[in-house]
Amino acid sequence: MEKKIHYGWIVIFMGLVTTVAAHGFGRMAYTILLPAMKDGLNFDYTQLGLLGTGNFIGYLSMAIIGGFLAARFGPRTVITFALLLMGVTMILTGLAKSFGFAFSMRLLTGLGNGAAFVPAMALGSAWFAVNKRGFATGIVSGGIGLGTFLSGIIVPFILTSYGADGWRYSWYILGSIVLLVAIIVFLFLRNHPEDKGLLPVGQEEKGDLQNSSAKNKVSSLDWGKVYRMKALWYLGVVYFFYGLSYIIYIVFFAAYLVKEMGYTAAWAGGLWATVGGLSIFCGVIWGSISDRIGRGKGAALAYLVLGLSYIVYAVFKSEAGFYLSAVLFGLTAWSIPTIMAAAAGDLVGPRLAPAGLGFITLFFGIGQSIGPALGGYLADISNSFTLPFLIAGGISFVGMIFSFYLKKPSENL
């Protein structure tokens, strides 16, 4: 008798599609659109950095709330409504004529991004056994790379096809795709294995308390468990360094190549697509690494590679240097979010995984909110992106040091 595919794999695929839309289109596309928006709206880099900050403030505001809502009401409902909000506000971003309106739309898109991304990244903890959690979460985070890759192909084509208004049409088209994804996710996503009468993928013990129907609802005592856990606070601090450093690199990646180094938008888009293509599988790779050597050592190694990618981008100002940086970053881009999501699930369990991940995403979001404005300010005062990228590298190395001191769940019981 032929064995059926476990529905957990369909759920993980829905998580992948969600991250393609939420992160790949809603956030990463801004990297390629930034130079065109600068010309079309006559913004300076500080303003463009603030648009990124507005997006991340929205992300920060909703990430922790969305995680708790998903733990209480289920990822399916929260993700669907979040993607609908994103699609509408992305389309409206294309209508922007002032900084205030553009900032408001990016802020609202960020709200949807946080509410969609956090529950999606926690799906692996709900649907997969502990020893497969990093791998499953890596599949979901692969959507960031796939979305980045698609953005790097789609956006330059639209920019070329529609000229000066290309950035507006890019937001229209990407927003419409996100709305379509919201419908697909609503149709196929399910919250927990027991909704389908199943156990998590890779689990055989039916008596496991974490999968019993009694855990369907999260009690007020459980909520307190999340924010009182010291190990979770420390995990959040480790995550902060990623948010602060990587965002400087991705927000100003194309602007550096186009505005400072003199490359075309198409060339920058092609290199960004390379980053996206390489990063599709980086979550699976690094999630599996952390399954084997531990979350702390895995995160430290990932931070090392990320820091090197930022410094190479700043120092080696040639095509070879840019490609080397892109390869290093692409192979490691979403490693930290993958490891942090798995680590949060390890600490708080499947039911509270969205809430736990939402809590540490608060720290990550603070870093993301500071990064774009800081990077834009440093670029304006130094008339170069070299300093912002070097600082990003230094911050990443600090994250590496902190990662070595992450404790295993058994040490926090």
80-127 pLDDT tens trace: 999 999 999 999 999 988 888 999 999 999 999 989 988 998 888 788
- Are 352 and 71 spatial neighbours (Cβ–Cβ below 8 Å)? yes
Q: How confident is the model at residue 3 (pLDDT cuts 50, 70, 90)?
A: low
- Are 257 and 267 spatial neighbours (Cβ–Cβ below 8 Å)? yes
Q: Out of 41-45, 114-118, 209-213, 326-330, which region has the weakest mean confidence (pLDDT)? A: 209-213
Q: Is residue 122 classed exposed, middle or buried when 0-12, 13-18 and 19+ CB atoms within 10 A define those classes?
A: buried
Could you give the CA distance from residue 379 to residue 256 in angstroms, rounded to a whole number?
10
CA 52 to chain centre: 14
Q: Per DSSP, what are the bridge partners of residue 201?
A: 128
Could you give the CA distance from residue 353 to residue 371 in angstroms, rounded to a whole number?
26
Q: Which of 24, 122, 119, 107 is nearest to 78 (CA)?
A: 119
Query: Which pLDDT value is given to residue 409?
Result: 64
The answer to whether the Cα torsion of 216, 347, 293, 24 is positive or negative is positive
Q: Which of 295, 286, 320 is nearest to 136 (CA)?
A: 286
pLDDT digits (tens, 9 = 90+) for 142-183: 888 888 888 888 898 999 899 889 999 999 999 999 999 999
pTM (two decimals)? 0.76
Could you give the CA distance from residue 171 to residue 173 in angstroms, rounded to a whole number?
6
Q: Which of 155, 142, 340, 324 is nearest to 233 (CA)?
A: 340
With H, G, I as helix, E, B as strand and everything else as coil, classify residue 353.
helix
How crowded is residue 404: how many other Cβ atoms within 10 Å of its Cβ? 12
